[in-house]
Amino acid sequence: MAKELPKSLDQVETKTVECDLLIVGGGNAGCFAAYEAKQVNPDLNVVIMEKANIKRSGACAAGMDALNTYIPTWDGKTPEDLVRWSREQVGGGPIREDLALSNAQELNQCVEELEEWGLPIIYDEDEEHPHYRGSWDISIHGEQLKPIMAEKAMDSAEVYNRIVATALIMDGERCAGAMGFGVRDGKFYVFKAKATIVSTGGACGIYKSYTSDGTASHHQTWMCPFNVGTGYAMGLRKGAEFTSMEQRWVAARTKDYCGPVDTVSVGYKAKMMNAKGEYFLNERYAHLGGDKAPRYIRANAPMEEWREGRGPTYVDSTHLDEEQCKNMLTDYLNERPSFVLYLAANGIDPTEQPVEVYGSDPYIVGGHTGSGYWVDMERMTTVPGLFAAGETAGGNPNKFVGGCAAEGKLATRGAIKFIEANGDVNIDESQVEAEKARVFKPLFRGKDFDGLTPEEIKERLQRLMDEYAGGTSQFYRCNEEQLDYALKHIKLLQEQSGEYITASDLHELMHAHEVFDRIDVAEIVCHHLKGRKETRWSGWQTRSDYPERDDENFNCFVETRKNPETGEIEVFTRPYERIVD
């Protein structure tokens, strides 16, 4: 933390960094983007702008117990098979099959590189092939997954840790880098770049967690809690096009802890069960695949049991013997060690007592669902010079670790082609001064200013989205009138946060900008939910006033684009092109 806070804008030092390629966000995709840049062109000047510390940042910060996509080619499986599976997971589409296929063709190499770098992958007893716990996911000892990735990134790029990104820099219509501030040193940073990749991760904390009333954190997420949608927000303010933001990620989680359920349900064949002892997926969703139904079905089904009066709901782990239970807890130690402590603290023996599950609050994560920037095959957004990878690139769900890594590489190759074709950038310094003033404004309002804290604004946003835009308390349902109410009050929050939000130190200033970003992302999520007047992915996207699926009008992508001058948001559609039979 800075030893002494600046008293005025004149005391804030501006530091300018010039580079060829800027990567905003040093998570999974960002690390592979940097690594690929050095493989393609070792002379390239690459910089990573990271809000946390790259050694433990992003969605993989705490580790993983599996890699969810690795194609068993020795078993005759192909990249096209993975695309078909991904399409089934979203009910038959729409998905960007062109993007999904290019990712699938790349991801095995990324997983194999992780193993070469030191990631322990668990093999079957014959030690010939990795151990699969489902159709596509392999087991790993992944507690060190992120440090392993980060080491390669640090060898490939200059990393600026603890820098909060706040805005893109523009050279006319072209992206020319990004700006932000140091949460530890209080400096204003200007990263001038010939091409920029946004790989910041998704957005958590937009919706209220059902546990918020019992904690002061206002969050309960298994995703990285400092992923707040900044990558989306910076682009939408510059008029970038977004796709499928209504396809929110909701997952069945262990209740009151938000731990992963697939570890026990997929890895150890534990079936979901309601309070009546019914295995409801097999009984009521057999026509959709039962226990192997698409993820959005498995996420929403427990909540439907609660809504129909058959809760609580569980994963029935009582079939596990002592050795299997020990192995399951070991898996949790690789990804969620505190869950093992949670079970112990609450006296829960999974061999005797089923593990209770409940639905999570909705997240916007393009590595899991299709939400994010609309990109071309080079992963360039509709803003020239701005590329997206991982959670921020949309239309291509079920990427997970391997797919996000592949997309980081693909975005880098596209960015290098762009640099070679377009050369240097020139920036108008007035935009730098304007952004610097905007960034530090909450810090200089004065101690007597009667304003609002970031926490107060965030709490209002989370309740608004929960109650009017399909949160957990509404069993993920919303209608036209609720969304209109949400949008009206989001406008008020945008006005009030700009005028009244205050920050007492640099850490709170970071929270202020996280709230600004969350509000802007929430706005386009509501427009997307309004735009899709059907119910296509129950739970992820449920319209109570349009409860049926409407293939005639909505087997397509819902898109938005914000006019940077007027603030108006245009909603339109793009056709779904099926290229894999």
Active site residues: 295
Find out whether the peptide bond into 312 is cis, omega within 30 degrees of 0.
Answer: yes
Give CA–CA dist 294/85, Å, rounded. 9
Amino acid at 219: H
Strand partners, 271: 316
Structure tokens at 228: 């707040």
User: Do residues 104 and 71 make contact, with C-beta atoms less than 8 angstroms apart?
Assistant: yes
Within 10 angstroms of residue 202's Cβ, the number of other Cβ atoms is: 27
Phi, psi (deg, nearest 5) at residue 187: -80, 155
CA angle 385, 100, 137 (to 5 degrees): 125
User: Do residues 581 and 515 make contact, with C-beta atoms less than 8 angstroms apart?
Assistant: no
Distance linking the first and last C-alpha atoms of the chain? 55
160: left (phi over 0), alpha (psi -120 to 50) or beta: beta
State the SS3 of 150-191: HHHHHHHCEEECCEEEEEEEEECCEEEEEEEEECCCCCEEEE
Structure tokens at 154: 């640090």
CA angle 468, 474, 478 (to 5 degrees): 50
Phi, psi (deg, nearest 5) at residue 350: -60, -20
